[in-house]
Amino acid sequence: MRTYDTVVFDLDGTLLNTLEDLADAVNYALGEMGMPKRTIAEVREFVGNGVRRLMELSVPGGFDNPAFEETFAKFREYYGIHCNDKTRAYDGILELLRGLKKDGYALAIVSNKLDSAVKELNELYFEGIVEVAIGEREGVARKPAPDTVFAALRELGRAPETAVYVGDSDVDIMTAKNAGLPCISVLWGFRDRPFLEAHGAGYFAGTPDDVRKFLE
């Protein structure tokens, strides 16, 4: 009898490389408002806590900037249209998910990305494979709160005791801890191993195959 029957995945930096589309949306909004643009490296550091936090860090002065809300609205509008221009699944991810699905694992995505974008990207890349996809939405605390993880498990009809969380960031490590799930930290995403180790990571996956090995 297997120990785990459910795998909950982060999206950005874990299943999909979304960095360029996020950076393009950030820089479109900043450019429209006459603000200095951000580098890919800066956007990589800023992602993980939802798009509002991403824009808080990207806009000079953050929330205190009187033009913040207008800039954020421009980001949301642009990203809603262009969220899949350059995004792609990481090598080996589709094979991993298909294999897990075939072997009876329940699969979910939980992200701090906008809920509409999470659902759209799940349909584009993982339709028929990942059953539940949840993003940031009104009235539900975002990661690292465990609320969206528990919501996904309820939709799947699975218990936290038999679930594993897979992510690429410090936010994911804390999310798993708060939900009482073991966390597999992937090394192909937006954070490197020393950073993850410094934030308490205990299990690492250098390739998608390593995720499978943990489950076996």
Pair (96, 198) in one structural domain: yes
Pair (133, 205) in one structural domain: yes
Residue 137, pLDDT score: 85
- Cα separation of 129 and 48, whole Å? 24
Q: Which domain holds residue 70?
A: 19-82
What is the tens place of the pLDDT at every residue in 188-209?
Answer: 999 999 999 999 999 999 999 9
Pair (33, 10) in one structural domain: no
Structure tokens at 164: 């594993």
Residue 216, pLDDT score: 85
Pair (42, 135) in one structural domain: no
Pair (35, 137) in one structural domain: no
What is the tens place of the pLDDT at every residue in 37-85?
Answer: 999 999 999 998 889 999 999 999 999 999 999 999 999 999 989 999 9
Mean predicted confidence (pLDDT) in 118-143? 94
Pair (12, 50) in one structural domain: no
Residue 33, pLDDT score: 98
Residue 44, pLDDT score: 94
- Catalytic-residue membership of 91: no
- SS3 for 146-177, per residue? CHHHHHHHHHHCCCHHHEEEEECCHHHHHHHH
Pair (100, 182) in one structural domain: yes
Mean predicted confidence (pLDDT) in 164-182? 97
Task: Determine which one of 10, 24, 168, 170 is catalytic.
Answer: 10
Give backbone dihedrals phi and psi of 115, rounded to 5 degrees, phi first.
Answer: -55, -40
Q: How is the beta sheet containing 183-186 ordered, strand by strand?
A: 132-136, 106-114, 6-9, 163-167, 183-186, 203-205
Phi-psi region of 207 (alpha: psi -120 to 50; beta: other; left: phi over 0): beta
Kindly state whether residue 97 falls inside one of the protein's structural domains.
yes
Residue 98, pLDDT score: 98
Residue with tokens 């899949």: 84
Kindly state whether residue 1 falls inside one of the protein's structural domains.
no
